Structure 1
Amino acid sequence: MKPIWIVDDDPSIRFVLEKALARENLPTRSFTHPREVLDALADITPGDPARQGPQVLVSDIRMPGGSGLQLLEKVRELQPGLPVIIMTAYSDLDSAVSAFQRGAFEYLPKPFDLPKAVELIRRAVEESQREEVTEERQAEAPEMLGQAPAMQDVFRAIGRLSQSQVTVLITGESGSGKELVARALHKHSPVADGPFVAINTAAIPKDLLESELFGHERGAFTGAQTQRRGRFEQAEGGTLFLDEIGDMPFDLQTRLLRVLSDGQFYRVGGHAAVKAHVRVIAATHQDLERRVKEGGFREDLFHRLNVIRLRLPALRERHEDVPVLTRHFLQQSARQLGVEPKRIADSAIARLEQFAFPGNVRQLENICHWLTVMAPAQVISLQDLPPEVLEAPLYQPAPRPGSDPSAAVAAVHAVAAPMPTPAPAVELVGGLPQPATVATQPLVGGLAASATPALGATPHWPAEAQMATGSGGIAATVGTAATWEQALETEAQKLLAGGQPEVWDALTRRFESRLIRTALTATHGRRMEAAQRLGIGRNTITRKIQELGLDAPDEA
């Protein structure tokens, strides 16, 4: 872990903080005035432990040789994501306000309570590590973000379709990111070198849509003074994305069907057939089966488009993706506006996760843009969220299979209307190989992930589930009617009855060992990410791995 940099001309302050942080296994490096800090920042060498940058900067506000606020401004220019804590006297509250306005993480009034100071620094460390994880994820996968099982199924489907040019129908609510999926399908396809052309069939007037799609000849209608290539010709050798296909006029559906079946079309007013070497991807938020029954959509066209159907989940079905998406959009908004990216408090993230997002990912993006402009401080707090979020009823996802319905219901206080069970992410027609669907979950710790209970529910172990006996696990066979708490109670009773010493430590070590191993397995050995998902600091998980003697892989 990188050190905590302490900047203060008072040696007693430096000494007290150094000793307190050392007891918490937090490395430190101290400076007496801002000039030394700037020189050290200029001397940072990646990969050299002796010249690594800070994890957190703690600086006094008034020092000979420079102001802490001036140092804050320069540090924000050099390392925008570095949390900076400003130490100040009680009489310097105006300076503290100025520090917040210039992007400080928090201010620490003097004289300070040492445990509270350490707690504040540890919070800044965890925030810094979260930002590093976010940057790592964005560097790895800036194209599309999503860790939820439903999104992982979408990603797998894109991978399986990467060697094919088959027609794909993307369904999902407005704002869920259907065009992003279409672009990803194009990017990872044999026609990736060709153009990607998108058209929203609902946004173009009926009288102009035919010309937009197929082009027109000179003199075909009033105002057609020259020949014009349509979207099909513009997408030659690439992909044509037809968004909101469910709103296409009925008569144009016939022409589209002819192109899909014959591979050729005629420009408006033209007599020569034009060949179309184009992959078609369509998308809609409507229920096309219902539209077919109502007579608003051609059944034969529906079957032409519905070769492979890929369902994109609504954001409320993938609430675990809200934190990473929020931080991504805050970074993106800051770049667009030319300002420093704002951070967001855990309480604000938790409230966003409980919001139903009727506008899906697009609504979250707009909220992040609003927060970048309107939130008064550099750290977005719960009360900074817009009224549409704060005043909305809390949304509770439907319980997953394997949870205790009564416990899940008891945990709900203000719940939106229950949603139907999500359909599979991918539905294949015509006997093609079937990718994984939402119902297929990876195994975590030997149990199907789909059996993970909802928040507040009590999980049931399967009848055949057995924890390993011996020093590494709990010796108990758990029946279908028994909960894991009952299994723990049974094991504790057995150890107590047998005169086992230090039962508390023995069971705690087993519990922590199993929990950390499971988290590391789920994150492919990335300790920082595992710590974040467990809700502990990276220093804590490293210490626990050493104490428990876990043979855990290093971070990838």
Structure 2
Amino acid sequence: STDAPDILGHAPSMQEVFRAIGRLAQSNATVLITGESGTGKELVAQALHRHSLRADKPFVAINTAAIPKDLLESELFGHEKGAFTGANTTRHGRFEQAEGGTLFLDEIGDMPAELQTRLLRVLSDGNYYRVGGHQPIKANVRIIAATHQNLNERVKQGLFREDLFHRLNVIRLRLPPLRERREDIPLLAKYFLQKSAKELGGEQKILSEAALTFLSAQDIPGNVRQLENLCHWLTVMTPTQQVEIADLPAEWREASPAASAGGDWHTLLAQQAVQMLQRGEPNILDTLTKEFERTLITQALQHTGGRRIEASTLLGMGRNTLTRKIQELGLDGDGE
């Protein structure tokens, strides 16, 4: 596995991510990392850089959603002196800063349309211009992009250029949410409690069996980042070394665990729906339907040892439908 300390996981889905990082070590290919917020997309991008032939050159990250639309172009490509009011000096953009190394474009799904066109041009002919510049500059960077959004959907909605999507989607790595790798929650919690104790100079807190079981049953919508924040909070706020369920913040205790003991799946589904409705989440039907399909297809494929024809017969769907669903739900590995 990788030497990235914050990427931990025994779950098969994470082992697959580690294997992909290893396989991509000698590659210069563009990688698209997909996954919900807080799943660790930037950590994986850093690991890909560290294990690449460009490791001794810069790793430059830019969150395309966090920068105002009118500043993003000069952030990415730089500007010439006098290009616009306030441009008193020539400025090197992120492409130049990452020269020879890796440029990580986070939240690529939010990139404005005109910037998508500029980026596509760089990816297709390897040259770009500073804002206000007339001299082409040769780009020598490896692009790693990430999004928490469904880019296929955004392409269909006309919000993301299809040609740019295909340029970025050379190799796709899907990071699983924590609810798909519950077995890793104890490992991650222990690591983050250790890390927080070291940072804050206090004693390391230990989660009781009951607290660990409780946490492992939660959905944790903010994923690894939310779990890390919780461990930081516990390190500061828990008066004793052992953390019990009662020591958890109220909002965690009030969330009904997804896998509460007993209760058939109808009850659990009802509980899940209530939680999502209370949180005011959009597209609940679509989200839950996809989870339902993902679970059924995953189990059927495990049962048949990956034989799709047999799995499709057992599920009562056509083979082509199953193949399409596998692609739509991101169940087809890293897209190589």
Instruction: Give TM-score, length-normalised by structure 2.
Output: 0.79
- Counterpart for residue 74 of structure 1: none
For 1:256, what is the secondary structure of its paired residue? helix
The Cα of 1:422 is off from its aligned counterpart by 4.7
AA at the equivalent of 2:17? V
AA at the equivalent of 2:162? E
Q: Which has the higher contact order (CA 8 A, sep 6+)?
A: 2
- Counterpart for residue 95 of structure 2: 232
The Cα of 1:332 is off from its aligned counterpart by 1.0
Distance 2:27 2:209 in 1: 42
The Cα of 1:396 is off from its aligned counterpart by 3.0
Describe the shift of the 1:271–1:420 C-alpha distance in structure 2 as closer, same or farther (beyond 3 A).
Answer: farther
Q: 37, 45, 54: which one pairs with 1:191?
A: 54
Q: 141, 155, 162: which one pairs with 2:25?
A: 162
The Cα of 1:420 is off from its aligned counterpart by 4.0
Q: 125, 128, 132: which one pairs with 1:269?
A: 132
- Counterpart for residue 345 of structure 1: 208
Distance 1:408 1:310 in 2: 33
Alignment of 1:514-533 (within 5 A): none
For 2:256, what is the secondary structure of its paired residue? coil
Distance 1:215 1:338 in 2: 42
The Cα of 1:350 is off from its aligned counterpart by 0.5
Distance 2:269 2:116 in 1: 47
Is 2:38 the partner of 1:175? Answer: yes
Unmatched 5+ residue regions in structure 2? 274-287, 304-336
AA at the equivalent of 2:25? S
For 1:416, what is the secondary structure of its paired residue? helix
For 2:272, what is the secondary structure of its paired residue? coil
**Which of structures 1 and 2 has the bigger CA Rg?**
1
Between the two proteins, the alignment pairs up a number of residues equal to 283
Q: Could you tell me the percent identity over the aligned residues?
A: 66
Describe the shift of the 1:439–1:163 C-alpha distance in structure 2 as closer, same or farther (beyond 3 A).
Answer: farther
For 1:309, what is the secondary structure of its paired residue? strand
Aligned residues of 2:4 and 2:43 also touching (Cα < 8 A): no
Runs of 4+ aligned residues of structure 1 deviating over 3 Å after TM superposition are 407-415, 420-423
Distance 2:64 2:269 in 1: 42
Q: 119, 122, 137: which one pairs with 1:256?
A: 119
AA at the equivalent of 2:158? G
Is 2:84 the partner of 1:221? Answer: yes
- Counterpart for residue 391 of structure 1: 254
Is 2:70 the partner of 1:207? Answer: yes
Describe the shift of the 1:222–1:158 C-alpha distance in structure 2 as closer, same or farther (beyond 3 A).
Answer: same
Instruction: Give TM-score, length-normalised by structure 1.
Output: 0.48
Q: 136, 156, 180: which one pairs with 1:317?
A: 180
For 2:192, what is the secondary structure of its paired residue? helix
Q: 416, 423, 446: which one pairs with 2:272?
A: 416
The Cα of 1:290 is off from its aligned counterpart by 1.1
- Counterpart for residue 329 of structure 1: 192
Alignment of 1:431-470 (within 5 A): 450=302
AA at the equivalent of 1:204? I
Aligned residues of 1:174 and 1:285 also touching (Cα < 8 A): yes
Aligned residues of 2:58 and 2:99 also touching (Cα < 8 A): yes
- Counterpart for residue 307 of structure 2: none
Distance 1:307 1:293 in 2: 19
- Counterpart for residue 117 of structure 1: none
For 2:246, what is the secondary structure of its paired residue? helix
AA at the equivalent of 1:296? L
Aligned residues of 1:218 and 1:225 also touching (Cα < 8 A): yes
AA at the equivalent of 1:188? H
Alignment of 1:79-98 (within 5 A): none
AA at the equivalent of 2:160? F
The Cα of 1:374 is off from its aligned counterpart by 0.9
Distance 1:413 1:240 in 2: 41
- Counterpart for residue 80 of structure 1: none
Describe the shift of the 1:156–1:279 C-alpha distance in structure 2 as closer, same or farther (beyond 3 A).
Answer: same
Aligned residues of 2:78 and 2:92 also touching (Cα < 8 A): yes
The Cα of 1:335 is off from its aligned counterpart by 1.6
Describe the shift of the 1:164–1:313 C-alpha distance in structure 2 as closer, same or farther (beyond 3 A).
Answer: same
Q: Which structure carries more helix by proportion?
A: 2
Aligned residues of 2:105 and 2:146 also touching (Cα < 8 A): yes
Distance 1:413 1:249 in 2: 37
- Counterpart for residue 105 of structure 2: 242
The Cα of 1:409 is off from its aligned counterpart by 3.5
Distance 1:160 1:210 in 2: 33
